[in-house]
Chains A and B, each alone.
Chain A
Amino acid sequence: MNGGTIEAPTIEYALLAPMLIVFGAAIIGVLVEAFAPRHLRKAIHMPLTLVALLGAFLLTILQAVRDGVPTTPAAMGAVAVDGPALFIWGIILILAFVSTLLINDDEQFVAQAAAVPGSNDEEEAVRSGYAQTEVYPLLLFSVGGMLLFPAANDLLVMFVALEVLSLPLYLLCGLARRRRLLSQEASLKYFLLGAFSSAFFLYGTALIYGYAGSIDLRAISSSLGTVAGQDTLLYIGTALLGVGLLFKIGAAPFQAWKPDVYQGAPTAVTALMASTVLVAAFGAVLRVFWVALGNLDWDWRPVMWGVAILTMVVGAILAITQTEIKRMLAYSSIAHAGFLLTGVIATGAVEQNRDALSAILFYLAAYGFTTVGAFAVVTMVRDAGGEAGHLSRWAGLGKRAPVLAGIFAFFLLAFAGIPLTSGFFGKYAVFSAAVASDALPLVVVGVVSSAIAAFFYVRVIVLMFFSEPAADGPSVAVPTVGTSAVVALAAAATVVLGVFPEPVLSLADQAASALFVR
């Protein structure tokens, strides 16, 4: 007996504070749902959510400024709050804050999710002016999961984060007020495919655990050189793990859910999903493939090449055939995931890894803002039956609402990567990193599919400005303060990152300078 003392684990609460604040606010949100009277709930939720996200963002910055980038993983090696993780947290928190302003719009969400449309329950719920305020705690839980996902330093934490991120999103997708059938169908499809893919992720985890004897990313990395004769476990495990992660970023051939879910979900939720989930998932992809499987890159790189090429081509080509604005943006998001994957492949010496990582981080920031802005514009163009999704309805929008159409055109040009927009520098950085690592064919495919993608972006612009507006065309809703703030902020970010990218580029460089902690 040694006096009955045990060694308590050390948890760096200060480092994890941004995440803890978000989760804490989510739990308070659940309590508010339980105890606050109905008419007060929204008035409590909205400030709580915004303050929590803003507070977490400020803490993240404070962390980076005051202590610099930590060099060891936190929480007994379970969570790695390093430079890339802090940068990604910053992006996710701002984007989530912005999306919350969009979600604030009551029109988007169903009054009572359990009520059947057209039934007495539904009428009663609508008449009493209820709104499904559970949206806010769900959003916070999901954002908390997104913060944990790219910072997870072992596969168990990563799996838990994956589920905490996804489960609230499945529900949020099904809460649209209009086009309820589409919304619920999107929710179901997202749920089934998400559960399917996380089962793959888990089976991969189990096999890699069998190979390495540990689920810690660092231990997996060091086992690559020492364990002999179990290569089957390792290769199958890596493949299955990859399936689970690539599904989350929507890389081909696992992209099928993206257009359906983006189209069916309430547009504010789509804005959140399209921007933050991609950012978080790329953080996790990088961590798994660079930290845990970095020494295996000769084996996974050819497969990743194929996936990246397929993703870019499928995203760009299928987008041309789309007639629904949200579906088109979903395919564009698939193509962008492909461009980002070229950065993931661009590994090499330490210096090369730094460049690639900083390029990916900058791209994620640029793409996230533009996406939120584009979906915010989509929420404002309305028909009698809700948002005017069909592209033909957008004809002549430039004559009706020149400012709005102009901003949307600007976002589309940023997606296409035209100089003087943020998309240009993002693409340039990623592609130049890929060229530096001898992936020239990949970059050629990337540039060609960018050109194909530019075709359909320009097609929408032509449609908006150079065709006659339909007689019964959609009206542009007077934006709420929140929505106009979102559009303004996203447009400003797209301009600033395109004209004067230096500060953010150097910030991304600093974040990437120490690479991932191990």
Chain B
Amino acid sequence: MHVVYPAVVSALLFSIGVYGVLARRNTILVLMSVELMLNAVNLNLVAFDVWLRDRLHGGQVLTLFVIVIAAAEVGLGLAIILALYRNRRTVDLDRLRALAEPAPGDGAASPAPGRETAARAEETP
């Protein structure tokens, strides 16, 4: 098999991942898209490892590291998403706009009232 096949499949997988991150609004799906990108990397690394006949198998070793770190990343990401969901009851990225550039209208005088009250409401003494 020519090395171009796995390389192209991997590039497609990576592109699907990028598209998913940019287009999806559900945080969990964005996380899954990032995983897709990492798996594209794994496929690429293993294919290149075989293609280069790397004696030390640097590519395959790197793949193992990527798998482990991706797992750690997912664990951490889900924890953050869960904490956020408990507070907000939503994981929709478009609705997480408390931290954004101030809109042109509401600028100088005070931050948007809705945002301020939302922030105050959940403060702990």
Contacts and interface: CB of A to CB of B under 8 A. Distances in A.
A20 interface: no
Interface string A106-135: 000011011011100010001000000000
Contact of B44 (A184, A187, A203): A203
Interface in B41-57: 41, 44-45, 48, 51-52, 54
Interface string B8-27: 00100010010001000001
A214 B58 contact: yes
Contacts of B79: 171
Interface string A161-202: 001000100110010011111101111110110011001101
Nearest to A207: B44
B37 A116 contact: no
B123 A114 contact: no
Interface in B25-46: 27, 30-31, 34, 37-38, 40-41, 44-45
Contacts of A126: 124-125
A156 interface: yes
A207 B6 CA distance: 12
A206 B83 contact: no
B110 A392 contact: yes
A160 interface: yes
B62 A182 contact: no
B122 interface: yes
Interface residues of B, number: 58
A191 B72 CA distance: 12
Contact of B77 (A160, A191, A392): A191
B96 A185 contact: yes
A210 B51 contact: yes
Interface in A91-112: 110-111
A503 interface: no
A215 B31 CA distance: 27
Contacts of B96: 185, 188-189
Contacts of B111: 323-324, 390
A159 B109 contact: no
Interface string B112-125: 00000011111111
Majority secondary structure, A binding face: helix
B100 A260 contact: yes
Contacts of B17: 199
Nearest to A197: B34
Contacts of B7: 210
A263 B99 contact: yes
Contacts of A179: 119, 122-123
Contact of B119 (A182, A206, A214): A182
A213 B54 contact: yes
Contacts of B122: 117-118, 179-181
Interface string B68-111: 01001100110111011011100001001011111000011111
Contacts of B121: 118
Contact of B102 (A113, A116, A189, A323): A323
Contacts of B61: 156
A215 B118 CA distance: 48
Interface in A187-235: 187-189, 191-192, 195-196, 199-200, 202-203, 205-207, 209-210, 213-215
Contacts of A9: none
B107 to A, nearest CB: 6
Contacts of B62: 155-156, 159, 205-206, 209, 215
Nearest to B109: A392
B3 to A, nearest CB: 8
B52 A213 contact: yes
Contacts of A390: 110-111
- Which 10 residue pairs spanning A and B have beta carbons closest together? A199-B37, A210-B48, A117-B122, A206-B44, A260-B99, A202-B41, A195-B34, A213-B52, A184-B84, A116-B86
26 contacts: A114-B83, A117-B123, A118-B122, A126-B125, A159-B66, A160-B65, A167-B76, A171-B80, A177-B124, A180-B124, A181-B88, A182-B99, A186-B99, A187-B80, A191-B77, A192-B31, A200-B37, A202-B37, A202-B38, A206-B10, A206-B44, A215-B58, A215-B62, A259-B99, A263-B99, A323-B102
